[in-house]
Amino acid sequence: MTKPLVAGNWKMHGNTETASNLAAQLAEQWNDHLPVEMVILPPFVHLAAVKAALAKSTIAVGAQNISQHEGGAYTGETSGEMLVDLGCDYVLVGHSERRELFGECSATVAEKFKAAQKVGLTPILCVGESLQQRQQQQTLDVVNGQIAAVIDCVGLHNVCRAVIAYEPVWAIGTGEVASPQQAQQVHSAIRTQLGDAGADTRLLYGGSVKANSAAELFAQSDINGGLVGGASLEAQEFLNIVKLAE
């Protein structure tokens, strides 16, 4: 059976002390026996401190970005090997903020996905439509197209080994969460696109998830957990959300 996963994207928040404290609070209160995987995604510069704070815990750690290059003269970039060296298991790829604010196109996202798997990291591939695309009934075409670009690069089997997060852009950081029906419709289309090979692929919903909206979302048949931004910065709220994915 697919083990649900809830990931907390801390974005560009905090400092070493707040990151360590938050990780320590999560580690202290997390029940390792729950059938849910918790992953936290701190900024690069806090990965080592967070990893240390989680030393005795099963909570996994990931990064928010990865270079598509293996190494070399790429000032300011962070390679997959470096993330593995820091103890990461996961990495976000194609978050809408990277696509929109930093111009990452589908080809770059696919290269990053490939670079992650090459070093043994599990990519969390983020896909989702803008408000305008939803209003123009393009949601499924956009989402299936973003996934198809990665399938073209690495093959269906490799995409099915990853985690896919459906995050409608209009729901990220806006407080406007997709309805469970809207989310399920897109997750079902993704599941269909993946076919039999994707029956156990973990599909997450992301976009303004809070403890009061998570239960109904996570109860949908094709939703296997969540990608949580703002609400992952508060230990109790995040723990409450993670528990709802059981």
Single out the residue of 19, 50, 172, 239 in contact with ligand PEP (rule: CB under 6 A). 172
Residue tagged 């983020």 (tokens): 126
The interface with ligand PEP within residues 133-152 (CB under 6 A) comprises none
Least spacing, CB of residue 206 vs ligand PEP, in Å: 4
Active site residue 187: no
Q: How many chain residues are in contact with ligand PEP, going by CB under 6 A? A: 13
Here's the x/- map for ligand PEP, 24-63, by CB under 6 A: it reads as: ----------------------------------------
Query: How far is it, in rounded angstroms, from Cα 118 to Cα 115?
Result: 5
Active site residue 95: yes
Annotated catalytic residue within 46, 95, 97, 129: 95
CB 19 within 8 A of CB 233: no
What are the backbone dihedrals phi and psi of residue 5, each rounded to the nearest 5 degrees, phi first?
-140, 135
Cα torsion 38, 64, 128, 106: sign: negative
Least spacing, CB of residue 226 vs ligand PEP, in Å: 8
Single out the residue of 47, 209, 223, 235 in contact with ligand PEP (rule: CB under 6 A). 209
The DSSP string of 160-204 is HTSEEEE--GGGTTTS-PPPHHHHHHHHHHHHHHHGGGGTT-EEE
Single out the residue of 128, 168, 198, 206 in contact with ligand PEP (rule: CB under 6 A). 206
Single out the residue of 204, 228, 241, 242 in contact with ligand PEP (rule: CB under 6 A). 228
Query: How far is it, in rounded angstroms, from Cα 97 to Cα 92?
Result: 11
With binding defined as CB under 6 A, does residue 207 bind ligand PEP? yes
CA-nearest of 188, 190, 94, 174 to 131 is: 174
Which residue ranges make up the site for ligand PEP (CB under 6 A)?
Answer: 9, 167, 172-173, 206-209, 227-231
**Active site residue ranges:** 95, 167
